[in-house]
Chain A
Amino acid sequence: MSPGQTAQAAIELRGVSKSFGPVKAVRDVSLAIPDGAVAGIVGENGAGKSTLMNLVYGLVSPDAGEMLVRGREAVLSGPGDAIRLGIGMVHQHFMLVDTFTVAENVALGAEGSALLRPSLAAARRALGRIADEHGLRVDPDAIVGDLPVGEQQRVEILKVLYRGARILILDEPTAVLTPGETDALFRVLRGLSAGGVTVVLVTHKLREIMAATDGVFVMRGGRLVASRPTRETSPGELATLMIGDHGRSVLLPDATSRRRPAVQPEGFPGDAGVHRPHAEAAAASGPRSTQHAVSLDLRAGEIVGVAGVAGNGQGELLEVLAGMRPLAGGRIGLGGREVTPAAPCDPAAMRALGVAHVPEHRHRHGIVEEFTAAETAILGYEADPGLGRRRLDGRAAERSCAGLMARFDVRPPDPRHLSGRFSGGNQQKLVIGREISARPRILLVGQPTRGVDIGAIAAIHREIRALRDEGCAILLVSAELDEIAALADRVLVMLRGRIAGEVPADADPETLGLLMSGAGRERDAA
C-alpha cells in the first residue's frame, strides 16, 4: 500500500492541519487509506493520532486542508456527518448500558421509531445479517454487563456497523483485553476487512500493528513521518520512526534492569520499610470488581507487580491501600501502625505514614485540571510546613514545582501553566514527580505510563527503579504486561477480586495470560 496513488481511497486527507492555541497538533498531514484495508496509525502520545482521528470523525474541524471520503470531498461539522458518511468510531472506553441487552444497546440512539418493539426487531435482524456477513456473532439477548470485556467491545463494533459504518476507527482497542481476546479482535477485524469494511487501528503497541494491519502510518510531533506496508517494516524500524533514534533500546524491555534481585528484607533493620498489608475489602461496584480477602506482603526494596485484565479489582486494591476506600475487613499493617475497619486511615494520614500513591485515574484523582502546575504539585502535600507556616506560600510552591519539573523533565517547565493543558505524559510526570519527591516508604502506582509517550516511559521507569533501589516498597498495577515484566521483581495476578496466583517476573506471557483469563485457576475454590 502506498498512500496517494490508490484507485479509490476510503479516506483521503490532503494537507490537513489543526492547532489548539499555540500547539500544532496536526501539521500538513496527507494520507490515503485504501478501501477495505486494515490501516494502523502509530505514534507516541501527543503525536497527533487522536486529533487526526477526531478530525476524521468530525469531532474537531481542521484549520487547513481537505478530506475526501470515497473520492468525494467531505466537510464534517460533527460526528453526525461522519456517521452519515459511513464513518464509525469505537472508543477506548465503552459507551454501553450495562443493564441493557445487546440488541437494546445496538438500537440505542438509532431507534428510528417511537415504539421500542419495531426498532428492537430491526436491530435483531440487522445483528443476524452482520453476523452472517462478518462472522461477528453475539447473543442479542445477553445482558451486556454479564459479557466478558472482549465481547462488550464486539458489541461496540456492532453498534457502529448497525449505523451503517463502512469505515471503522478503533482507538487503542486492546487496552482492556487479554492476549487471547486481542487475537480474537484481530480475527474480527480481518473478517470485516474481507467483507469490505475499512479499518483504522490507532495504537501505540507495535506488536499489534505488525499482527493486524496491512499498512501503517507513523506520526511524530503532529506530522506524518512515514507510511509503510506492514510486511515491509519491523517493530524496530517503526519505533525508530516514532521517536527518532533511540527507539529500540527504550521499547524493548531493558535486560539488565529487569533481572535485578530483590533487596532482602534483612538488609533493612528494624523493619523500617517492611510492611505486611493484608487487605480484605468488599467493594460494592459489581461482581467483577468486588474484592475478596486479598492477602499480600510488600517488602522494602522490591517492586511487586499486579497484573490482570482491567476491572478485576486491582484499582480497588490500590485505593484501599491508599485509604481512599474503606476497608471492609481484615487489616493493613504498615510498619508499626495497623489499619482495620474499626481504625481506618484516610489518605492524608496514609501519606503521613509514608505511603505515596500515583492514582490509576490521573484526571479523576491525580490532578486538578484548572489548577496551575504548582498547585497540582502540592495536592495531598499542601500541609507541608515548607509551604508557609500559616498562609499557603504560592511562591514556595512554584519554586519547588520548578525543581520538580527540572528533575522529572516536565514540559513546558512553567509552574504557572494550567495542569489540564499539559500533555498526558507531562501530567503523569508531574504526578509521579510529586509522589516520588515526597520520599515515600511505600509507593502505590497505578498505570504509571498510561497515555504517556515512549521517551517519558523510560524516564518514569528509571525513577521507579531508583526509588526501589533506595529501599522503597513499591506496588505496581499496570495493564501493560511489558511494563510489569520490565519493572517487577515478582508478579501477582488478580482475577475477579482475588489473587489468582504469583509468578516470577520472568514468567512467559502465556502463563500470565492463562492466569489472567482464569484458565489457570488452581488456588481458589470458588
Chain B
Amino acid sequence: MRAGGTLPRWAELGLVPLLDVLCAFLAAALVVLAIGVSPLAVLRAILAGALGDAGALGYTLYYATNFVFTGLAVALAFHAGLFNIGGEGQAILGGLGTGLVALALDRVLPGWLLLPVAIAAAALFGAGWAAIPAWLQARRGSHIVITTIMFNFIAAALLVYLLVNVLIAPGSMSPETRAFQPAASLPLAHDGLRALGFAAAPSPLNASGLVALAAAAAVWFTLWHTRFGYRLRVMGLNPGAALYAGIPIGRMTVGVLCLSGALAGMVGINEILGVQHRLILNFSAGYGFGGIAVALMGRNHPAGIVLASLLFGILNQGGAEISFDIPAVSREMVTVIQGLVILFSGALAGFSRPLARGLLAFAGAALSRRAGAPASREG
C-alpha cells in the first residue's frame, strides 16, 4: 500500500488538471442551478455554440489562438521565475507595431514581404514594451509585477491617444485608422481550405493560428533543448544555483521578458492583420490576463497551454452564443465559469490530487481483483 506516495507523471500532468477543471465545472453547475437553469442545458448550449459547426469551430480556434500567445508569454517568463502580468499592454503594443507597419507599407510592399515585416514589428513592439519593466527590475530592483501592470495602463492610454489624435482616419467619427490594403491581411482559414477543395464556413480563423502552434513548439524547444532555456529554468527553479553557475540574471531577465513580450505582441497579428484589418481600440480584450489563467491551467507546458487555450476558446465562443439560447444566462455567466476554472486550476491547483490518488488506487484494486479472480476460483 503506498498511501501518500507521489502520483505517476501522466496522472500528475493529465489527470490532476482534468479533475481540477471538472471540479470547477461542478461548482459552476451549482451556480447555474442556483439561478434556476439546468446545467446540462447550459453545457449543451456552450458546446453547440463553440463546436456545433465549422463556423463556430473556427471562432473557437480564433479565440484560442490569442490565448495560446498570451499563455505562452506568461509560461515562458514563469519558467524563469518572472511573473509577467503585462501581457495586455504588450499585446496592445504588438497590435500598434503591426498596424503602423501595415499603414506605412501596405501600398508599397507585396503581401509576401509585408506580412513577415508586420509580424516582426508586432514581436518587436511587444518585446520593447516588456523590456522597460525588465530593465527596471534588473537594474533598479523595481518589481515587474508592479511595473508590468502599470505598463498595461500606459499602453492602453497610448493607444487611445494615438487613435484619437494621430492615426485616426480623416473624416472618421470613431477612433480607428483607415482600413489596410488587402496585402496586409493574413490568409483566412476558410479561404485556404476552399483553395484546397474543402467547403468551409467563414470564420475569423487565420494564419496566425499556425503561428501560434509554431510558437508553442518553439517555446517547448527553447525551454528544454537550448542553453538559453536551461539557464532560464535554473534561474526560475533555484536563483541561488543561477548565481553559483554564473548565469547573468539581469541580462537573462531582460532577454526572457523580451521574448515573453514578443509572444504577447502576437495577439496583435491575429486581431489586427487577421481580423480587423485596421487599428482599433480595445482589441486586446483581456487576453493578456486570460493568458495567466491559461498558463496556470496548462501547467506552464506548451502542450498544456494549447489544450487550456482550446478550453478558454470554447468558453469564449460558447459563452457568446449562450444568451441567444438561454436568455436567463448572460455573457457574464461565462466569466463566472472562467473565474472558477482559474480558482480551481490556479489558486487551488492540485486540489484534486487526493481524488486522483483515490481513483488510481481504486482502479488498481479493481484491475488486480479482476486479474486475481480466476486464480482464486481455481484455488
Contacts and interface: CB of A to CB of B under 8 A. Distances in A.
A20 B246 CA distance: 34
Main secondary structure, interface of B, reads helix
Size bin of chain A's contact surface: 20 to 34
A487 to B, nearest CB: 23
Given A379-B234, A392-B229, A364 B246 contact: no
A498 B240 CA distance: 25
Interface stretch (A103-111, A224-232, A347-355): A347-355
Interface in B243-291: 243-248
Interface string B216-235: 00000100111101110110
Interface stretch (B1-9, B60-68, B146-154, B322-330): B1-9
A468 to B, nearest CB: 23
Given A347-B246, A392-B227, A394-B225, A21 B237 contact: no
A368 B234 contact: yes
B238 interface: yes
Contacts of B240: 361, 364-365
B98 to A, nearest CB: 29
Size bin of chain B's contact surface: 20 to 34
> Which of A350, A359, A391 is most buried by chain B, counting CB atoms within 10 A of its CB?
A391
B224 to A, nearest CB: 7
Contacts of B221: 391
B244 A357 contact: yes
Given A21-B2, A21-B5, A391-B226, A379 B244 contact: yes
B347 interface: no
Nearest to A394: B225
A158 B227 CA distance: 50
Contacts of B246: 323, 346-351, 380
A349 B6 CA distance: 40
Contact of A392 (B226, B241, B247, B248): B226
A365 B2 contact: no
A122 to B, nearest CB: 39
A370 B230 CA distance: 12
Interface in A45-89: 63
Main secondary structure, interface of A, reads loop
Contacts of B5: 19-21
Contacts, number: 75
A63 B227 contact: no
B243 A347 contact: yes
Interface in B112-154: none
A486 B229 CA distance: 42
Interface in A414-449: none
A349 B2 CA distance: 47
Nearest to A357: B244
A63 B6 CA distance: 15
A365 B231 contact: no
A348 B6 CA distance: 36
Contacts of B224: 394
A383 B245 CA distance: 11
B226 A348 contact: no
A316 interface: no
Interface in A330-355: 346-351
B226 A368 contact: no
B245 A347 contact: yes
A322 B245 CA distance: 10
A95 interface: no
Contact of A370 (B2, B237, B247): B237
A359 B244 contact: yes
A391 B2 CA distance: 40
Contacts of A20: 5
A366 interface: yes
Contacts of A359: 244
B242 to A, nearest CB: 9
A348 B227 CA distance: 14
Interface string A360-375: 0100111111110001
Contacts of A361: 240
Contacts of A367: 238, 241
A368 B241 contact: yes
Interface string A15-40: 00001110000000000000000000
A324 interface: yes
Nearest to A61: B4
Contact of A368 (B1, B2, B6, B238): B238
Contacts of A370: 237
A382 interface: yes
B15 to A, nearest CB: 18
Contacts of A366: 241, 244
Contacts of B1: 63
B241 A382 contact: no
Contacts of A394: 224-225
Contacts of A383: 227
Contacts of B230: 375, 378, 382, 392
Interface string A382-417: 110000001110100000000000000000000000
A365 B234 CA distance: 10
Contacts of B231: 382
A265 B231 CA distance: 38
Contacts of A19: 2, 5
Contacts of B3: 63
Interface in B31-49: none
Contacts of B247: 348
Given A348-B245, A379-B234, A379-B241, 4 more contacts: A63-B3, A324-B243, A367-B241, A368-B237
24 contacts: A20-B5, A21-B5, A21-B6, A63-B1, A347-B243, A347-B246, A348-B246, A351-B246, A357-B244, A359-B244, A365-B238, A365-B241, A365-B243, A365-B244, A367-B241, A368-B241, A370-B237, A371-B233, A379-B241, A380-B246, A382-B227, A390-B226, A392-B226, A394-B225
The 5 A-B residue pairs with the shortest CB-CB distance in the complex, in nearest-first order: A348-B246, A347-B246, A365-B244, A380-B245, A364-B240
